[in-house]
Structure formats: C-alpha cells, structure tokens
Structure 1
Amino acid sequence: MKTSHRFLSALLGLAATAASVSAEPLKIAYSDWPGWVAWEIAIQKGWFKDEGVEVDFQWFDYVPSMDAYVAGKVDAVTMTNGDALVTGATGKPSVCIVINDYSNGNDMIVGAPGIESLKDLKGKKVGVEEGFVDHLLLLTGLEKNGMKPEDVTVVNTPTNETPQVLASKAVDAIGAWQPSSGQALKAVPGSKPIFTSADVPGIIYDGLYVSPESLEKHKDDWAKIMKVWYKVADYIRDEENLDDALKILSARVKITPEEYEPFLKGTYILTLDEALERWKKTDGLGSIYGSSKIVDDFNLKFGVYEKSQDIDKYLDPSLTKAFAGSKD
C-alpha cells in the first residue's frame, strides 16, 4: 500500500510535536541581583516561547543557587565571574555564555557614622564575607588608598547579616552588595558608602553560567536564550521602558518600583556592542578575561582554592559573536 507524502508529513509533524512536548526545559537558577532579575522581563513577556525554547527559571537565594547548580539540580546559574571560579575549583565547572552586566555601585563598603573614607578604617574592624566579591572590593579599595590588608581586621560575616552586624556596632564598616548594602544604609542612620564598585568598574561581572555538558548538548537552545537576553538589555536600556521594567523587576523581589530604581542604577546592563568589548581577551578590568584573572590571583592569595584556574575554560564568547555577526 502506498503512503501519501501528505500523510508522511503529518506523521513527522506529530512526532516532532511529541518530542518538543516531552523535552525537558532547560533549568536556570537565578537570584536577587538586578542584572539577573532582569530575566523576569523575558519571562513575563513570553519572549522565550517566541524563540521556541523551553526554559524553567528557578528562584533562589544566591548561595543556594550555586549549591543547586553544583548538585546538578539545574543546567545553569547566574553568578559573578569570581564566584564561578570558586564554584568550578571546589564543586563543578561552568561556562559563561552571557555577560549580563557589571556592578556599578551596588557593591559597597559602607562605613558607620564618623567613618568618612577607607583611610579612616585603619586599625578598625570590617564585616565582610571572606572569599566573596566584596572582600576583593575591600582589598582593592585599600590598595588604591595606599593601605595594606593588615591595616584592617576582617570579621567574616555572611553578606545577608551585614546590616545587623553594622547596626550592632560590632564592626566599623561592612562590605555587601544590594540589597544588603542598601539595608545597611537604612539600618544605620549616618552610615555612608565609602568605596563602591563604581570606583572600579569591571571588578565584578555578572553572567549566565551553563554546565559544559548542557552547553554541548543544547547549544542551539542556549543560543536562543542568549539572543533573548539582548532583547531584554535593549528593552531595559530604553528610557521609554523604564517604568514598565521597574514594575516587573520590583514585583519579583516584592518592593516598590521607587525602591528598586537605585538598585538598577547601580548595575550597568551591557548592550550587545558593549558586551563584545568586554569579551575581548585583554588584561585589566575592561575585559571579563582580565577581571577573572585578577579574581583568580585574589582567590589563590587568600586560600579560597589551591590551584590557579584556566580562565579560558570558564568563558565562551562564541554564541554572542555569532549572534552579532548575524545582525551585520
């Protein structure tokens, strides 16, 4: 019996649909940082469905998001370039395919009342989570002010506890990122930022890090996710969309748009062209490669891990470059 082409096409179409329905969505852990909360815009507006890619964004606190990734519960996680190195050295490697932003003021060293500058901290205590990005921010600030690490006493403090520790007067300053840094400023009247990531732009890059296995197996889907990100970046950078963007982002973290606006201003969301510049393999903070090398040196010096990491294995600009090329 002959089978018509039309019937075969229908069968193939049904098979493709069934495969699509049964395919597991790509699981992404994200957390409370403006450059990662920004993915919520694409989720709310259905842009992943428009691209034909199934994703499952799962909301975590930051450290548990990395734990979930190491445990294999998700395919990807949003984290800083420095924390990606720590996660890879001590748990499970990952590959950055999207540079969302760099911190532009949200990471802060906050001084108690009477502390006007980093130099005022000589001989005093600073509450900061050792080995995390704001420990690096503190040490960088000290160096830029002609000081040494030994000039302050670091009190190892979980980042989410820094506002309470500053308020308790157990320390003279804290290092934290938003929202904890902002909470510290509110909790202690008269406190102020004395050094921030805006003073060293590029010291902290925030990205989407994918497991190497998932990236190899689902490269086309990850390319679609990367493409959606730049739709988000363009949307959020357009002043006409600011009110809508703030409404979406603030709702995700359950505060008002007015409260959220300073957080967004302290985060430099990168356009495609700006990201391409940051993907260039150069020294210094203007490149994610240079920034990651600085963090690797820091991690080795302070015993966060024992062996220098191969920076190139953590970074893959190929999807971004291919997308940029397709737009030319």
Structure 2
Amino acid sequence: MNRRSLHRLAAVTAVAALVLPATACGGSDDPAPGAPATVVLGFSAWPGWFPWQVAQEQGLFAKNGVTVELKYFDSYTDSLTALATGNLSANSQTLGDTLTSISGGAQQTIVLVNDNSTGNDQIIAKPGINTVADLKGKRVAVEQGTVDHYLLLLALKTAGLTEADIALKPMLTDAGAAAFTTGEVDAVGAFAPFTTTALGLAGSKAIATSADFPGAIPDHLVFTAAFVKDHPTEVQAVVKTWFDTLAWIKANPDAAIDIMAKKAGVSAADYKSYDAGTTIFTREQNLAAFTPGSTPANLDFQAKSIAEFMVSAKLVDSAPPLDGLLEPKFVQAVSP
C-alpha cells in the first residue's frame, strides 16, 4: 500500500487531456448532461475512506437514489491514475495529490472533506532523539514528495531547521520503516500502518505527528470537473450519503468497525487503534474548512501552502491553478 504521494502522477496527468475523450467516465459513451448517471467511486486503504464500504453494504447510496459502482484499489496510486485519466467519476484522495493531478492538466473538483490526519502521519525517531531539533545531522528516511515529506518540513521549520540540516534518505514508506527498525536510519516519516512497523523498534517514539499541524493533511472526495458540471444531482446524492453513513456508524459503532476492519484486512482492535489519528469530518467541520481564510484549517489557505511546497520541492515547475478546485455547494445543500 502506497498512500499519499504527491509526485507519482506527473506523466499520467500530462496526457490526461489526450485520453479522457476515450474513457468510460469522461467520453462519448457518458450519459448526456442531466441524464441519470452511475457514479464510479474509487477509494483505498485509509481509515477516513472505509466508511464508503459501510455505505455500500448498508444500501445507503440506493436510499439516496444514486447508483454507485464502488471500486477498491489495493494501490492508492492506481486510484489516482484512474481518476486523472477519467476511468473514475470520483476518488477519495489527498489535497496534495489532487493538486499534482491539476498540475498535470487534469480538471478535478473537491466536493467533500472526508477527514484530516490527526496523528496517523508521524516522524518517528530512535532512542536518544527526543525532539525535532535533535534531528540535526541525523539520517531521516522519507518518501520524497509525500505528505509525510511535507510533515517533516513543517516540523523542521518549527524547530528552526531546514531539510539541509538533516541527511535525507529518500525511500518508499514501507522500506523506510523497515530501514529504521534495522538502524539504517535514525528517524523516519511514515503513515499508518507503517507507523506500527517503525514503532516496533524498542524505545522509538513519535517526535512529531500530523496532530501537531491541524489541517495540514486533509483527505477529500474529488470528482472530475466534467462530472460535477454534467451530473450535479448524483454528486449531491453521494455527498448526502456520506453524512448519512456517518450517522449510521455513530448509531452502530461495533457493526461499522467490523465492516471497515474486514475491508482493511485487520482486526477490529487494530482498526480501533487508528481511530484517534484520523478525524472524520462532520458537515459543520466541512463548512468551516470550505470557508475562505488564512489559517491551516481553511482549505484555500492549505491548498496554497501545499502548492508552494510542491514548487519548492521541485515536484512541479509552477504552482497549479486553484480556480474551481473547491466547490462547497453540495455540503451546504445537505440538511443539518
């Protein structure tokens, strides 16, 4: 599982405009604008996205009058590619990955905040390293261009350091976690469940987490811009289903956890251990996030911040256009 990468779509999205006309979700075989349409919705392994499985198994999409073909991806990157090339109507993905797709030419619209990472992304250090400031001169493994790379830079900045002050060791997240446990590196940036692997090193601990930077790592439901334009009724029904699903989960917590844990391939106890590190967003939290502002809690501010990171890390040549990225009207239309 390789979730939350900011840089893997460059080649795909650069040719998205060429392949979209021939794809299932953006091509000539699509229903006419306004006609009923099936929503092909992708998601992958992250606690904030497993509620979609609950929605499917409990028939909540159908209750809202929308036909949804739910597609689970073992590879998160594959789900990003599928949306960028028009083979999905919508996907659950990070803000950073959405910006990367847009940089490559894809036209996508965020209609819902699924969650914020509030601890499940971590900078984990070996014994003897107790603060971020202690990372100076140390070997730190992180997958370049990921949100955990972004988290590392945020943490370094708060400690008065930059990436130049550490010995960065670019590694895939799973490899980095493994290298940390064998002493190959002194610290690692990772997300759950690879945090569990890293913390298997005796005496290791998280010295910074996404909980320290509220709003820095948001996850969303993202539609192709064309689908939003042509089929707003279906988009509205899917957004309403999300909040209906959260209500069902609240009323049936044990049954919901069993459904989500089974899909995740972990025990119910293991799944519960990830709950605190992922904050599922209510309608009220969605409304607050979509409100323009100048804090990390505001999506427009966070999008600009991540775009600047992408340019500074040389992941893109120029900041992606943000016009039309955020569309709050579907959340606003859901009854409280």
Normalised-by-shorter TM-score class: 0.7 to 0.9
1:250 paired with 2:261, answer yes
Contact 2:151–2:210 at 8 Å: present in 1 too? yes
Residue 333 of structure 2: aligned partner: 322
Q: Which AA in structure 1 matches 2:177?
A: P
Once the two structures are superposed, residues 80-114 of structure 1 have per-residue CA deviations (whole angstroms, 9 ceiling, x without a partner) of 11111012112523111110111110011111233
Distance in 2 (CA, whole Å) between partners of 1:28 and 1:162 is: 31
Contact 2:102–2:321 at 8 Å: present in 1 too? no
SS at match of 1:34: coil
Distance in 2 (CA, whole Å) between partners of 1:190 and 1:167 is: 11
Q: Which AA in structure 2 matches 1:98?
A: L
Once the two structures are superposed, residues 276-295 of structure 1 have per-residue CA deviations (whole angstroms, 9 ceiling, x without a partner) of 01110111211111111110
Match of 1:90 among 104, 109, 123: 104
Distance in 1 (CA, whole Å) between partners of 2:129 and 2:99 is: 33
SS at match of 1:311: coil
Distance in 1 (CA, whole Å) between partners of 2:226 and 2:103 is: 17
Q: Which AA in structure 2 matches 1:83?
A: D
Residue 189 of structure 2: aligned partner: 175
Distance in 2 (CA, whole Å) between partners of 1:91 and 1:172 is: 38
Percent same amino acid among aligned pairs?
31
1:232 paired with 2:245, answer yes
Give the number of the structure whose alpha-carbon radius of gyration is greater.
1
SS at match of 2:49: helix
1:154 paired with 2:165, answer no
Structure 1 unpaired stretches of 5+: 1-18
Distance in 2 (CA, whole Å) between partners of 1:129 and 1:157 is: 5
Distance in 2 (CA, whole Å) between partners of 1:91 and 1:253 is: 32
Distance in 2 (CA, whole Å) between partners of 1:90 and 1:114 is: 42
1:195-214 to 2 correspondences below 5 Å: 195-214=208-227
1:277 paired with 2:291, answer no
Contact 1:113–1:192 at 8 Å: present in 2 too? yes
Q: Which AA in structure 2 matches 1:106?
A: N
Q: Which AA in structure 1 matches 2:189?
A: G
SS at match of 1:79: strand
Q: Which AA in structure 2 matches 1:144?
A: T
Match of 2:159 among 145, 151, 171: 145
SS at match of 2:274: helix
SS at match of 1:36: coil
Residue 52 of structure 2: aligned partner: 39
Residue 49 of structure 1: aligned partner: 62
Distance in 2 (CA, whole Å) between partners of 1:207 and 1:29 is: 12
Match of 1:263 among 274, 289, 297: 274
Shift of 1:37: 1.2
Contact 2:103–2:321 at 8 Å: present in 1 too? no
Match of 2:121 among 98, 103, 107: 107
Shift of 1:242: 2.6
Shift of 1:234: 3.0
Q: TM-score, normalised by structure 2?
A: 0.85
How has the CA–CA distance of structure 1 residues 40 and 80 changed in structure 2, closer, same or farther, with 3 Å as cutoff? same
Shift of 1:24: 5.8
> Which stretch shifts more, 103-112 or 155-164?
155-164
How has the CA–CA distance of structure 1 residues 68 and 205 changed in structure 2, closer, same or farther, with 3 Å as cutoff? same
Distance in 2 (CA, whole Å) between partners of 1:217 and 1:116 is: 53
Distance in 1 (CA, whole Å) between partners of 2:307 and 2:67 is: 34
Bigger helix share:
1
Shift of 1:298: 0.7
Shift of 1:146: 1.7
Contact 1:95–1:211 at 8 Å: present in 2 too? yes
How has the CA–CA distance of structure 1 residues 263 and 312 changed in structure 2, closer, same or farther, with 3 Å as cutoff? farther
Structure 2 unpaired stretches of 5+: 1-31
SS at match of 1:303: coil
Shift of 1:23: 6.6
Distance in 1 (CA, whole Å) between partners of 2:291 and 2:128 is: 42
Instruction: Name the Cα RMSD after superposition.
Output: 1.8
Once the two structures are superposed, residues 23-55 of structure 1 have per-residue CA deviations (whole angstroms, 9 ceiling, x without a partner) of 763111101111111211111111001111111
Residue 316 of structure 2: aligned partner: 305
Contact 1:75–1:214 at 8 Å: present in 2 too? yes
Once the two structures are superposed, residues 227-285 of structure 1 have per-residue CA deviations (whole angstroms, 9 ceiling, x without a partner) of 0111123334x3x5332222111111111110111212111111111110111011121
Distance in 2 (CA, whole Å) between partners of 1:169 and 1:71 is: 40
Contact 2:140–2:166 at 8 Å: present in 1 too? yes
How has the CA–CA distance of structure 1 residues 153 and 206 changed in structure 2, closer, same or farther, with 3 Å as cutoff? same
> Which stretch shifts more, 88-97 or 130-139?
88-97
Residue 192 of structure 1: aligned partner: 205
